[in-house]
Structure 1
Amino acid sequence: MGNNHPSASSEEIAKVRATLEERGIKRVLVGGADVHGQFRAKFIPAWRFAKDPAAPIHISDVIAILDIEDEMIPRPAGYEGWWPTWDSGFEDMECVPDLSTFTPVPWIEDGAMVLVDFRDHGGRPVRALPRNVLRNVVDRATGLGFTPRMAGEYEFFVFRETAKTAREKGFRDLATLGEGATMYGGERAHADLGLIGAMEQACESIGIKIEAAVTEGGPSQYELNLTPQSALRAADEGFLFKFVVKRMAESLGHTATFIPKLGAGGFGSSMHAHQSLWAGERNVFFDAKAPHGLSVTARQYAAGMMRTLREFTAVYAPFVLSYKRFEGGAETAAGSKVTWAVDNRTTAVRAVCGPEAHTRLELRTPGADANSYLAFAAMLAGGLWGIENDIDPGEPYIGNAYADPAVDTVPATLGEALELFEQSEVANKYFGEDVVRYYTETRRWEVEQFNSAVTDWELGRYFGNV
């Protein structure tokens, strides 16, 4: 992908400078998402940022090979693609502020925040990093005459624990917000309003609107729904939403986690993604004369997401633990069945039909641990592939797909999912072979770390019995 996103306009720069002065901003958090979805950033003094708000900030490319616990991942044997190392000196990347994302942040003392696009010294996007991956696929949609709109529904657990006390307990028997699970529980929602309200208010303060908040099916579990936005904005909001939720929970002496599964049985945490394609003011997924009001384009998009579901599962479920969420069938509601339906939550792809403005497709497979940029890029890539190749999804499924052994399921392990992803024609075409190789190797590292670990379960089961 070339450098086809121009730098900020003089009007944007003037607006940022005025906001810095009017709001008394003293520091700006400048950064973005790494491959795991972690926030990699710097605080820049406002006086420096104001000199040229569009100027690149430099961050070492070491962030691209840090694992989720900040251990450096060594270059894989035989790997020839882009991979920062000590041999290259861990060069700086140019982190170019996207001033459309600049916002004061009331809950950061005298602070503001802006997201960046990671580029190399030649000004070219670092293709493997998540925001650039999504930009690339969105550009493809734009070239076809479509504007993708997306919205995420994010589930998470909150506990009356600090990070320290949770770790001391081994992350077991944590103090929940209430006793048991109360799905759609009005009393529980009211009781927790101080916490959830703080999260909503913090989101609103940086321009993220919360459409609904609901107690979920797991103990101490919530779901907050974001509003439809352009694909890149929706991914930015999903990324920042996690940042807000964790920080607000911490400020109140709690801990929030987007871990996909806490234990055997019961619900995990998902990221349900709603999407549609627009041409100007027209939702191209809607056709009043078609069955269910779904256009041919919507059906093709649904078919593409469905047919590429297994090969993109490594993106929707990026960690070893992610696959525990798919175990148990209907009781987990994890979108593990590879089929589509109309308003049926037992299938991976769910068509939501209604007036033109609300007609959309929902993908239920991604876990809450998914990187919103990469997950949105994967589903958009699958959908566009379905459109470009005129794929038909067949008739929508009727019944309980979880109870139907004839319906295929997503891969059972991250290792299996990676094999499918690496070989995927669609992933290699729409993401780029270099991006697929890089992402695959970062996930293989996760598998290797798990395989080399000795767990409490293994010690307890085998120590005295072998």
Structure 2
Amino acid sequence: MTRNDRHLSLDALRALIEAGTIDTVIVAFTDMQGRLQGKRLHGRYFLDVVLDHGTEGCNYLLGVDIEMNTVDGYAITSWERGYGDMEFVPDPDTVRVLPHLPATAMIQCDLMWPDHTPVRPSPRSVLKAQLDRAAAMGFTALAGTELEFILFDDTYEDAANRNYRGLTASNQYNVDYSILGGTRVESVIRDIRNAMYGAGMNVEGSKGECNFGQHEIGFLYDEALVTADNHAVYKTAAKEIAAQHGKALTFMAKYDQREGNSCHVHLSLRGQDGSIVFWDAESGRRTPLYDSFVAGLLATMTELTLLYAPNINSYKRFADGSFAPTTIAWGEDNRTCAVRLVGRGAGARLENRVPGGDVNPYLALAAMLAGGLHGIEAGLTLEPPLEGNAYTSGRPKVPGTLREAREAFNASAIARAAFGDDVVDHYTNMADVEIAAFDAAVTDWELRRSFERM
């Protein structure tokens, strides 16, 4: 059975390839930075060889920085280890047509070592381990991610040639909920919505946001792994479709001085039989289990922020009065808090407002599950909700820099128990690489302030 009627079974994919309707199959995995990496294969080769035997790729793909530079410090990949291969193992549940690309289908992969053991630091492996942990406790996880982006009238090539400065946003004013503002960019947004629907995603709709040219396309919640898989495909496809229109878009957390790009993550647990476990219908209230889950999320927020905000730029988004959270607190439908509780009954869910558009969805969902399940296991008690403005509440703050988040994550006994030392060390090193690169960079800010006047 496929995930929905727009996903393909392997038999259906085979038939399309044999009929010549599909001639290209992308085999892809999601890397540390949340990007799709992989290969384009001829459809016949995919059927004859890869479908049964998989394919391979260099293990450096889980040990590079954003520029694809090989860097030191990773236990699983190095010059000393010879930069060997990982196996790309296609997941038959993820087959989809990509309507925006001619005659192309995609299948997403798990990463395995040549001995067929999982590559544990792979983001998909990290999430699947937490989903297995939840299943052992009798739960399944449902999730939705809300990604914002800024659309520009410039091409990606022009943007690069201009050092990403002085670009023309596709809207020239705040278009939050504006129908007119949406109409001005509908040619691009509509193509993204329809292509993603054709690729097997359940599209809700789109709306304008606050920054110039900023928009959001919403998708219906699903099982957590499905949501993460869809998120990764959508993020790549949206950029590809923008480029087809001669435009560019960015998901970076903070492009300029105005509002950043958020990625609010909604999450709830169900029983494995589909039963509601976060809400008691008889009393019309949250269950103690729900409260303990939220308490665990809050208790681990500092330690796990690295997986919600993985880049130097992520922390520029955290600003008071910006709708981006700075305070570790929860509230009932309170958008000033890091965690917002919304919905009743089957719709009861928590919203983690810390992640930005640069988040890796697998790692963020894994962190939320790790924190929440810790709260359930420890029987943590939820503090009363924050009333009013969290920005001025005096409550503890979300880590303000990547360095601060890195230190908390590396020292976290809870993170090491949940993910394993190898995973924690891997993503601590990723932070170290980014911090070192930023510390060595000379910024525009320094040049403007110092070139003449110092």
TM-score by length of 1: 0.93
Gaps of 5+ in 1: 1-10
Which of 66, 69, 91 lines up with 1:68 in the alignment?
Answer: 66
Residues 231-263 of structure 1: CA deviation (Å, up to 9, x unaligned): 111100111110111111011000011011122
Contact residue 314 and residue 418 of structure 1 kept, 8 A: yes
Residues 370-381 of structure 1 mapped to structure 2, 5 A cutoff: 370-381=359-370
Contact residue 143 and residue 221 of structure 2 kept, 8 A: yes
1:190 aligns with: 183
Contact residue 155 and residue 247 of structure 2 kept, 8 A: yes
Q: Does 1:352 align with 2:349?
A: no
The one-letter amino acid of 2:62's match is A
Q: CA separation in 2, counterparts of 1:202 and 1:218?
A: 25
Which of 446, 449, 465 lines up with 2:434 in the alignment?
Answer: 446
Shift of residue 343 of structure 1? 0.8
Q: Does 1:248 align with 2:236?
A: no
1:410 aligns with: 398
Shift of residue 403 of structure 1? 2.0
Which of 326, 331, 348 lines up with 1:341 in the alignment?
Answer: 331
Shift of residue 289 of structure 1? 4.0
Contact residue 9 and residue 95 of structure 2 kept, 8 A: no
The one-letter amino acid of 2:355's match is P
Q: CA separation in 2, counterparts of 1:425 and 1:226?
A: 35
Q: Structure 1 residues 191, 463: CA separation in 2 closer, same or farther (over 3 Å shift)?
A: closer
Which of 361, 368, 384 lines up with 2:373 in the alignment?
Answer: 384
Which of 126, 146, 165 lines up with 1:133 in the alignment?
Answer: 126
Shift of residue 357 of structure 1? 2.3
Contact residue 153 and residue 247 of structure 2 kept, 8 A: yes
The one-letter amino acid of 2:279's match is F
2:225 aligns with: 232
Tell me the C-alpha RMSD between the 2 structures: 1.5
1:456 aligns with: 444
Q: CA separation in 2, counterparts of 1:19 and 1:135?
A: 30
Contact residue 349 and residue 361 of structure 1 kept, 8 A: yes
Q: Does 1:421 align with 2:409?
A: yes
Q: Does 1:365 align with 2:365?
A: no
Q: Does 1:96 align with 2:89?
A: yes
The one-letter amino acid of 2:64's match is L
The DSSP-based 3-state class of the residue aligned with 1:87 is coil
The DSSP-based 3-state class of the residue aligned with 1:244 is helix
Q: Does 1:273 align with 2:265?
A: yes
Contact residue 294 and residue 353 of structure 1 kept, 8 A: no
Which of 306, 309, 312 lines up with 1:317 in the alignment?
Answer: 309
Contact residue 277 and residue 285 of structure 1 kept, 8 A: yes
1:116 aligns with: 109
Count of residue correspondences: 445
Q: CA separation in 2, counterparts of 1:303 and 1:190?
A: 42
The one-letter amino acid of 2:444's match is D
Shift of residue 21 of structure 1? 2.7
The one-letter amino acid of 1:216's match is E
Shift of residue 443 of structure 1? 1.3
The one-letter amino acid of 1:321's match is N
Q: CA separation in 1, counterparts of 2:386 and 2:20?
A: 54
1:26 aligns with: 23
The one-letter amino acid of 1:203's match is M
Contact residue 286 and residue 298 of structure 1 kept, 8 A: yes
The DSSP-based 3-state class of the residue aligned with 1:362 is strand
The one-letter amino acid of 1:225's match is G
1:6 aligns with: none
Q: CA separation in 2, counterparts of 1:191 and 1:449?
A: 39
2:4 aligns with: none
The DSSP-based 3-state class of the residue aligned with 1:156 is strand
Contact residue 55 and residue 97 of structure 1 kept, 8 A: no
Q: CA separation in 1, counterparts of 2:251 and 2:197?
A: 20
1:200 aligns with: 193
Q: CA separation in 1, counterparts of 2:227 and 2:109?
A: 15
Gaps of 5+ in 2: 1-7
2:216 aligns with: 223
Shift of residue 61 of structure 1? 0.5
Shift of residue 66 of structure 1? 1.5
